[in-house]
Amino acid sequence: MLLSINGISVFSKKNFRTSKSHRRAILFLHGFGGSTKDWEEIFSLFSSEFQLIAIDLPGFGKSNKPRSDKFYQTDFLVQLIDEILRELKLAEVILAGYSMGGRLALQFACKHPGKVKALILESSSPGIKTKSERQLRIKSDAELISFINKNSLKDIFTFWQNQPLFASQKNLPVKKQNSILLNKINANSKIGLTNSLKNFGQGEMENLWNKLSAIKIPTLLLTGALDTKYAAIQHEMDKLLLNSSHKIIGDAGHNLHLEKPEVFVNLVREFLQILNVKTDLK
């Protein structure tokens, strides 16, 4: 389904055909180079008690891939999520984001806390703390942009999947690895990838570390035990957030919902069941 939002078309995937207001809605936001296809297995594992929605962010999947920088900047993306909720007639939503999508979910929650019932942040960061570190990240992303412009999408994502951050995915069945690579090649363009890095890379986004202690939204932090970098980041986040829990999944790396889909769904379901009980008691 294509939604016309703020001058561009945004692809959305939903698992519900009828409007049932009593069912809680979960909006899934993919990571860099991802798309709604990344959540298909997760959708199949959830029961009908939830309204499940996923979108292709601008520049990815079946959404428009505009050349203008503004469609990839934080303010526009936050407004985009707000407009999508309005279009879908959702007063509030459970936001689930992976990596880059988690950064966007956190940005939205800081600006519109009343519209977020709960946060599920998978392998995500609130940003880079110091100016010098951000400058280094901007330089690193500029080098990646140059690499993207000089190579084919197949070479780009073969290189991307061979990064240490994704090493644990080599344990997946070869058929699944090939399917992941093919989906990424088909879902992306150089325009979308480079504009996303240039405008919504970690070096460009606002540092939210100093805002975490003000967030009251129930938050589930999920990381893989093999992803020591983000496990440490989210451990620190857990200490700052007022209403959070941090779950570390054994024998998993950066992309939990891909490597351990059943475990991911069970942890999310458990979190939302506890949340629902607490809400009912108030």
CATH of the domain at 38: 3.40.50.1820
pLDDT in tens, 52-78: 999 999 999 999 999 999 999 999 999
* Burial 3-16, CB ≥16 within 10 A → b, else e: bebeebebbbbbee
pLDDT at position 277 is 53
Amino acid letter, 29: L
pLDDT in tens, 98-154: 999 999 999 999 999 999 999 999 999 999 999 999 999 999 999 999 999 999 999
Q: What percent of the chain has a predicted confidence (pLDDT) above 90? A: 86
Residue 163 makes CB contacts below 8 A (sequence gap 6+) with: none
18 pLDDT exceeds 70?
Answer: no
pTM of the model: 0.94
Tokens at 108, concatenated: 């939205």
Across the chain, where does the E strand assignment appear?
2-5, 8-14, 24-29, 50-55, 93-98, 116-122, 219-224, 244-249
pLDDT category at 16 given cuts 50, 70, 90 is: low
- Interval 77-88 mean pLDDT: 95
pLDDT in tens, 257-280: 999 999 999 999 999 988 875 544
Number of domains in the chain: 1
Domain region containing 153:
2-281
Quick check: helix, strand or coil at residue 62?
coil
Distance CA 151, CA 270 (A): 43
Tokens at 247, concatenated: 């779950």
What is the residue-averaged pLDDT of the chain? Answer: 92
